[in-house]
Structure 1
C-alpha cells in the first residue's frame, strides 16, 4: 500500500466513526422534540428487529411532541412496547391510529446527566479515531518492514495520519460542544 492508500483508508474509517457519533448524538434528548430520539428504536416486526423510521411516519407537530403514524396499523402495539422498553424515558400515548410522545422539559440534573452522556459518546469516538491511527501506523510500519516504503515515506505517512487524527478529533470536540450547549440552553 502507498502512503495515499493508507491515509485514504484511515480517513474513510474516521469518517464512519464521525457519522456514528452524529447518529448517537441525534438520539440524545435536548428538551425539545426531535424524531432523532425515536427513529432508531428497534421494533419487532414479523420476527425481525426493524428501525422505527422504516415502520412509521415520524414528525414533530409541536415543539414538545413527537407524532408516530405507523404505515401498518397492526404494528402499533409493538411500537408502543418497543418505546417503553427503550431507555429514552418517554411514555407513549396511543389512540389506536397514532402514537404521541410528549417530551417534558429537562431538569438541571437531567441536563447534567445528558451532557455527561455526550462526553462519554465523544470520548468513545476519539478512542475509535486513535485506534484507526494506530492501525494506519502499524500498516505503514509493516510496509516499511516489507521494503515497500522508505524511512522518509514512513515518517511522511505517520505525519499525515497524525494530522488526520487531529482534524477528526477537533470535529468530534466541535460536535460534542454543540450538543452540550444545545442541552444546557434549552
Structure 2
C-alpha cells in the first residue's frame, strides 16, 4: 500500500513557516545594531523599487550604529528618504556617500509594542503550520476513502503528522520567546 502524503513535503512546508518567522523576527529592533534591521527597506531608484542591499552595503561598525555605503552618489538622497519613511525610528546622518544610523535606546512603551508584534508574527507562523497539518490530515482521509491506506495506517500517519506539527510549534514558541526576552531586555 502506498500513500500520496509526503512527510518530507509537510516538514519542508512547516519549516518554511518557521524560517519566515525567524526572518520577520530578525527585522525587529532590539536596541542592538543588526544589518537585518534594514532588510524591509526598499528604495525608489532607477525607476524601480529595489531592496536597500542591492544599491548599498550595510555594515555594523559599532554595537549601536549601522552604516550604509551607497554605491552611486545619485542614490544617497532616495536611500536616506527610504530609511526615514520605513518606520524604524532611525534618524540617518549623511556624510558623502556614507549614511550613519545611530540606534537609539528603546523606550519601555516601544519594547512592549515590539513584544506584541513578536506574538503576532508567532501566531501567524502557528496558523501556517496548522494549515499544513490540516492539508496532510485531509490527504490521509482521502487516501483511506480511496482504499489506498487502511484505517490503522491513517491513524499511525496522523499521529506522525501531529508530532511533526507539535515539534514545529514548539520551535516557533522558543524562537518567539527568545526574541521577546531580547526585546524586553530580560
Q: Please report the TM-score for the alignment, with normalisation by the length of structure 2.
A: 0.93
5 Å-filtered alignment, 1:166-185, equals 166-185=166-185
Residue of structure 2 in register with 1:140 after alignment: 140
Query: Which shows bigger deviation, 67-76 or 175-184?
Result: 67-76
Residues 62-114 of structure 1 show CA distances to partners (whole Å, capped at 9, x for unaligned) of 11111000222222222112112212121212123111111100111111111
5 Å-filtered alignment, 1:58-97, equals 58-97=58-97
Residue of structure 2 in register with 1:28 after alignment: 28
Aligned length: 186
5 Å-filtered alignment, 1:35-46, equals 35-46=35-46
Shift of 1:61: 0.8
Would the alpha carbon gap of residues 104 and 15 (structure 1) be closer, same or farther in structure 2, given more than 3 Å must change?
same
Would the alpha carbon gap of residues 139 and 49 (structure 1) be closer, same or farther in structure 2, given more than 3 Å must change?
farther
Residue of structure 1 in register with 2:112 after alignment: 112
Say which SS state the counterpart of residue 122 (structure 2) adopts. Answer: helix
Shift of 1:12: 0.5
Structure 2: distance between partners of 1:93 and 1:53: 18
Shift of 1:162: 0.4
Say which SS state the counterpart of residue 106 (structure 1) adopts. Answer: coil
Aligned Cα RMSD in Å? 1.8
Structure 1: distance between partners of 2:105 and 2:12: 38
Q: Please report the TM-score for the alignment, with normalisation by the length of structure 1.
A: 0.93
Structure 1: distance between partners of 2:51 and 2:74: 16
Structure 1: distance between partners of 2:176 and 2:161: 22
The unaligned stretches of length 5 or more in structure 2 are none
Would the alpha carbon gap of residues 170 and 75 (structure 1) be closer, same or farther in structure 2, given more than 3 Å must change?
same
Question: Hey, which bits of structure 1, 4+ residues long, moved more than 3 A?
Answer: 1-5
Residue of structure 2 in register with 1:160 after alignment: 160
Residues 3-62 of structure 1 show CA distances to partners (whole Å, capped at 9, x for unaligned) of 584221110101111111011000101011111110231222323322212221111111
Say which SS state the counterpart of residue 30 (structure 2) adopts. Answer: coil
The unaligned stretches of length 5 or more in structure 1 are none
Residue of structure 2 in register with 1:6 after alignment: 6
